Structure 1
Amino acid sequence: MEIRVIVPCFNEEDIFESTCSELTKILDKDSIIKKYTYDILFIDDGSSDKTLDIIMAKTKFNKRIKYISFSKNFGKEAAMYAGLTHSKDKDAVIIIDADLQHPPELIPIMIEKFIRGTDQVIAKRDRKNENFLRKITTKTYYKLINKFVDVPITDGIGDFRLLSQRVVHAIVSMTESQRFSKGIFSWVGFKQEIIEYENKTRVAGQSKWSFKKLIDYGVDGVISFNNKPLRLLLYIGLLVCFFSIIYILITFINIMLYGINLPGYFTIIFAILFLGGIQLISISIIGEYVGRIYYEVKARPHYLIKKCNVDNE
């Protein structure tokens, strides 16, 4: 049995040694017990620090260390897709972050459940040690997104998981450029088990997720797996038309009974601003979908490889 651990990296020089040491220590011990071979594939997502140099130095002393380095920063979604694309021959693949917020000690549990026949072993974190504002914002986001998307998205479940070979093949076959892995993992299905762990803070380095990136990722989640925002625009348009007709009838009856009343500044300004706001929102939502069609039609590669020591596929 061959297991591969995929670790996306972007400017992780401060924590790489700790991550690599922790992973190899756990995998060495577990592979002896469960009799499997493993390697660790680091995906350097165009790091501007010494991450790639450190990885390449490691490969000289440990043949189990593999790497793919992108020509520039293509994002974590592209890094995970590259790792999975180059791991289709493995019996199972584990995706884990490089910051040790995903506890590597869960890997033996994941492999044990995989051996028993589970296709996706999913790690779910709790929300302990998170600040109050982020906790409330996250819970609100997941409640909202599950009302829009066509697949269930669970709070606390991220990319840390084990995937069987057939799940990897299914995900790699989905070649869309605008990827939202949380939705893709949920959409492909297969037998799943969830294991929970306590939320951890970064050991070193800084988070690459700014507030703006989190907002963009949230929008991707809403847009990627449904057309409900477009349907919502239809409902809003019908509702506005209904109230407009009611308003016109009331105004007409008022004119018939009391004559023309010139004052109407507030009504006009309100109507202009309200309808203008709805139009701008509608155009923006439609533009998001059109933009995604534009990127899909161009069919550019998800990533470009600068250096690697694994076979291209």
Structure 2
Amino acid sequence: MAKQLDILVPFLNERESAIGFCALASGLATQARQRFGLETRFVLIDDGSTDDGGRLYEEHLQGTWTLVTLSRNFGKEAAILAGLDHSEADYVLMMDADLQHTAEVALDMIGRILADPELDMVYAVRADRAETQTLGRYLANGFYWLINMGQRYEIPANAGDFRIMSRRFAGAMRQLRDQRRFNKGLYAWTGFRQQRILYKPAERQGGTSKWSKRRLIAFSLEGFTSFSVVPLRMVSLFGGAVAVLGFLYGIKILLEVLFTGVAVPGYPSLIVAVLVLGGLNLALTGLVGEYVWSALSEAKNRPNYIVKSVSQSQKAAGVRQQASRKSNG
């Protein structure tokens, strides 16, 4: 019996690229069957789109597919989990719907994971980001340096959700029901044997990126609060250093008064101390608040997403009915 490959495609308002992706998907499924003998099914997750992209996928996508429509926009991390929950294949490939993830790279990853039975994941790392040294690139490098500090595993920089995983890796990911999900960290935390490849994404064919600078900052904070205690420790160390310096400065002033008769400095030094310590306390309070909010979200234990509807191609419905008959028989 041929092995199964599920291709997970989360999307949000991708109407302009829907028809182009359907053409790419058809060719990818054909190549996966001819080169590797894999039976392919597409699991599309509509993450609360407000356009008619979902309808276009239903009309133009060929082969076997399942469309999972969420009740609202829960975020890409939750949408990927929804796709994993609706997948039972031997291998799971994740791609974006904006056509920046190419079929050539996808086939390369499929070939690599099939060639090595001990390999559980192959993930693609953007090579173009490593080549550009901008302020954003330096900030990103600093982010990964901080979040990996003191960890027993490493979250690779520039790696997104373009990756393929084995059934057991997908099963492990389904077990992780974090409310504030940071999938990059979860992929690394899960472990197993992983391999990376470099790729350059294709040009976006339509629409715009959903990742604004504000959302990237918020996403980075979720990564820290989910996987690192380093920010708290850094603020604590800084506060300790300020306290020690203040204590030494106090001794200096005391000695000057006792032995030289120099008057104690007045308001300028006092104001500086108040501003430094006050700002430090406010920053620490805000940081602790982020961790408390993260803990509160986990304690509520709400579902990661809510499914509005599930539709299938006729071929997918037939395959599911056959599997049901076999299990009942």
**So what's the TM-score if we normalise by structure 2?**
0.87
Kindly provide the amino acid, as one letter, of the partner of residue 251 in structure 1.
I
Q: Is the 8 A contact 1:151 1:225 kept in 2?
A: no
Residue 254 of structure 2: which of 252, 255, 258 is its match? 252
Kindly provide the amino acid, as one letter, of the partner of residue 18 in structure 2.
F
Residue 305 of structure 2 corresponds to 303
Using the TM superposition, give the Cα deviation of residue 301 of structure 1 relative to its aligned residue in structure 2, in angstroms: 0.8
- Considering only aligned residues, what root-mean-square deviation do their CA atoms show, in Å? 2.1
* Identical columns (%): 32
Q: In the alignment, does 2:6 pair up with 1:4?
A: yes
Q: In the alignment, does 2:76 pair up with 1:76?
A: yes
Q: Is the 8 A contact 1:149 1:222 kept in 2?
A: no
Residue 281 of structure 1 corresponds to 283
Residue 140 of structure 2 corresponds to 138
3-state DSSP of counterpart to 2:128:
coil
**So what's the TM-score if we normalise by structure 1?**
0.91
Q: Is the 8 A contact 1:151 1:183 kept in 2?
A: no
Unaligned ranges ≥5, structure 1: none
Residue 105 of structure 1 corresponds to 104
Give per-residue Cα distances to partners, 1:8-27, cap 9 Å, x unaligned.
10000000111121022122
Cα distance change on mapping 1:56 and 1:269 into 2, 3 Å: same
Kindly provide the amino acid, as one letter, of the partner of residue 97 in structure 2.
A
3-state DSSP of counterpart to 1:138:
helix
Residue 121 of structure 2 corresponds to 120
Paired with 1:20 and 1:151, the residues of 2 have a C-alpha distance of 37
Cα distance change on mapping 1:71 and 1:186 into 2, 3 Å: same
Paired with 1:150 and 1:288, the residues of 2 have a C-alpha distance of 23
How many residues are aligned here? Answer: 308
Using the TM superposition, give the Cα deviation of residue 5 of structure 1 relative to its aligned residue in structure 2, in angstroms: 0.3
Using the TM superposition, give the Cα deviation of residue 250 of structure 1 relative to its aligned residue in structure 2, in angstroms: 1.0
Q: Is the 8 A contact 1:92 1:165 kept in 2?
A: yes
Q: Is the 8 A contact 2:146 2:230 kept in 1?
A: no
Using the TM superposition, give the Cα deviation of residue 186 of structure 1 relative to its aligned residue in structure 2, in angstroms: 0.9
Using the TM superposition, give the Cα deviation of residue 92 of structure 1 relative to its aligned residue in structure 2, in angstroms: 0.7
Paired with 1:261 and 1:91, the residues of 2 have a C-alpha distance of 78
Give per-residue Cα distances to partners, 1:183-238, cap 9 Å, x unaligned.
11111111112221124331211111111111111222222112222222322222
Residue 96 of structure 1 corresponds to 95
Residue 160 of structure 2 corresponds to 158
Paired with 2:138 and 2:231, the residues of 1 have a C-alpha distance of 23
Further displaced range: 139-148 or 247-256? 139-148
Residue 25 of structure 1 corresponds to 27
Q: In the alignment, does 2:37 pair up with 1:35?
A: yes
Residue 221 of structure 1 corresponds to 223
Q: Is the 8 A contact 1:127 1:135 kept in 2?
A: no
Q: In the alignment, does 2:39 pair up with 1:49?
A: no
Unaligned ranges ≥5, structure 2: 313-319, 321-329
Q: Is the 8 A contact 2:102 2:201 kept in 1?
A: no
Q: Is the 8 A contact 1:94 1:160 kept in 2?
A: yes
Q: Is the 8 A contact 2:22 2:60 kept in 1?
A: no
Cα distance change on mapping 1:149 and 1:229 into 2, 3 Å: farther
Kindly provide the amino acid, as one letter, of the partner of residue 225 in structure 1.
F
